[in-house]
A and B are shown apart, each in its own frame.
Chain A
Amino acid sequence: MDWQYLSSNSALIWSKLVEHLYLSITPILIALVLSLLIGLFSVSFPKVYPAVLALSSTFYTVPSIALFVMLPGIIQTNILSPLNVIVALSIYSVSLLVRNVVDGLRETSADVRQSALSMGYGGIRQLWEVDLPIAMPLIFAGLRVATVANISMVSVGALVGIGGLGELMADGFRRNYLTPLLVGLVLSVVLALTADLVIVTLQRWLTPWAKFARQA
């Protein structure tokens, strides 16, 4: 471990960390919006859901490196554009999240549904005030998995030249120099743990009821 490396490359390390965060979190936000839309659509038209599920599972089986390489050809981007990583990870995240969104929206029990309807709920208002809040714990569970998965997959992007902390690892590997490799590795683990902690905290704050409902 070469401590000198840390101090002389702190700016580089910091910028790779920020880049890593940007490349992994942006797809999560995009995917959250998309999966909510696809999920709502699937719940409203249950007949399309099996097709949605099949499609998303298929996407998920494509290796990430293959997707990184193929995407520029498909969406006409520069091979070195960060957009490739963002689009690829958005697709993976949607594949993961759609299932949780749909399961979450179906979480509302028949009794709750019937009493909501009988009190004069319905349509968008029921979705917003009843179904979506009840879906939150499952959506958050999906967000945690997708976020941690993205943070680890962004590193793979280093193999096509866009990789945040992955570039530090690739650099260390190429030069047979352990320090950058370790720095990249430790920071991406720390990043994943921190992101997970942030999401869990957010979830506890937004769904204070969930910990009781689990016991019941």
Chain B
Amino acid sequence: MLFDDPWGSPVIEFENVTKRFDDGAPAVDGLSLVAPDGEITVFVGPSGCGKTTSLRMINRTIPVTSGTISVDGQDIATTDAVQLRRKIGYVIQHAGLFPHRTVVDNIATVPHLLGWDKKKSRSVALELLERVGLEAGMAKRYPAQLSGGQQQRVGVARALAADPPMLLMDEPFSAVDPIVRAQLQDEFLRLQQELGKTIAFVTHDIDEAIKLGDKVAVMQAGGTLAQFASPAELLSRPANDFVAEFIGRDRGYRRLSFVAADGLVVSERSTVSTDASADDVRRAAGDAQHVLVLDSDRRPAGWLAVDGGTDASTAAMLDIGTTFTSSQSLRTALDGALASPTGEAVCVDDDGRFVGVIDHIQIAKYASTEGARQVPT
């Protein structure tokens, strides 16, 4: 049987799945989608759209009314529910840690349920504690002694303890403050790069969905799927008004995150070295009001205003702001241009050496013509 074999990262498939509650109203209505293996599929939508219900039907804590959910082709209705759940890591908002168990025992819950050797469970738990960025000293603490962010990290470690091929995550980062949330999201993405689990992730926050999702399922009231697409496609081609409105007004700008900057044509610009005199600066500038100062390795050091009449060694230089490389996104490039005193973004190579500049007008032009074609479907 499938569950006895080590699972790779499986595909989760919804086929015309409907869930009706006792009053007959559908919570999820005819949902069909394929969550690809080893990728993050985000279910996003307003409250009451059936996203959490969809998630809970995967581990059978909510039964489907009709339709099938299959994992690597096997209908989950034919599996043993308890065995299934122990193969699926689960992370919930507020972590849902056991208040009466220490951090290390919380993490070791599923190994404990699977009857692993105590020593092995503990060593796995301690390893995971470190992996989610907590100190070993936390192992003996109780959940109530941790901050919300720390509890959430323990929640992720607990979900990973038995190395399940799939993870279900229900608003795991919603209950912490924005700074901690961004940290947790970044670390989660880094972790997923190493682990490559098949992850179903629920959030009401479209920004989180776009940041984390390889695929995003936008759901709307009544439990129907409004659109299932990559974040870039969602931003460039929302399927209907509901999706467009849900994504929000600044989707044009956010879409730039998904367009590579490698197609931008940068231009030369007069530069001076850090040992240039005030006269050198004037000569190099010509008609321009600013020159770019490079250090001895040709790394951008800052912008210098010509009318200041100072040499390049002084502290009068303006901050260089954000630089970008061709492998980064248009959003990074545009941000660099907007923050620069000259309206120009500075392009550098992978070693940080100066390549060229491009101004915000050219970036915007590129984004609306060339960039639009780059959007993956």
Chain A: minimal CB distance from B310 (Å) = 58
Q: Which of B84-92, B131-139, B195-203, B369-377 contacts A (4 or more CB under 8 A)?
A: B84-92
**Residues on the A chain within 8 Å of B142, using CB:** 208-209, 212-213
* Interface residues of chain B: helix, strand, loop or mixed (majority): mixed
A120 touches B99 (CB 8 A): no
The answer to whether the Cβ of B168 comes within 8 Å of any Cβ in the partner chain is yes
B144 touches A115 (CB 8 A): no
Whole-angstrom distance between the alpha carbons of A13 and B211 in the complex? Answer: 77
Chain A: minimal CB distance from B370 (Å) = 46
A111 touches B92 (CB 8 A): yes
Q: Give chain A interface residues in 109-144, CB to chain B under 8 Å.
A: 109, 111-112, 114-122, 130, 133-134, 136
A115 touches B96 (CB 8 A): yes
The answer to whether the Cβ of B249 comes within 8 Å of any Cβ in the partner chain is no
A112 touches B98 (CB 8 A): yes
Chain A: minimal CB distance from B155 (Å) = 8
Partner among B61, B100, B145, B168 whose Cβ is within 8 Å of the Cβ of A134: B100
B96 touches A120 (CB 8 A): no
> Nearest B residue to A133 by beta-carbon distance?
B100
Per-position contact with B for A181-203: 1 when CB-CB < 8 Å, else 0? 00000000000000000000000
Interface residues on B, range: 20 to 34
The answer to whether the Cβ of A216 comes within 8 Å of any Cβ in the partner chain is yes
The answer to whether the Cβ of B83 comes within 8 Å of any Cβ in the partner chain is yes
Per-position contact with A for B70-102: 1 when CB-CB < 8 Å, else 0? 000000000000110110101011111111111
The answer to whether the Cβ of A78 comes within 8 Å of any Cβ in the partner chain is no
Chosen A-B contacts, 16 in total, with CB atoms closer than 8 Å, are: A109-B96, A111-B96, A112-B97, A114-B96, A115-B90, A118-B168, A119-B109, A119-B113, A120-B82, A120-B83, A134-B100, A207-B100, A209-B101, A209-B142, A212-B144, A216-B144
A-B contacts besides A120-B85, A212-B142, 8 pairs, CB < 8 Å: A111-B96, A117-B85, A119-B85, A120-B110, A121-B113, A207-B100, A210-B100, A212-B144
Interface residues of A, Cβ cutoff 8 Å to B: 109, 111-112, 114-122, 130, 133-134, 136, 207-210, 212-213, 215-216
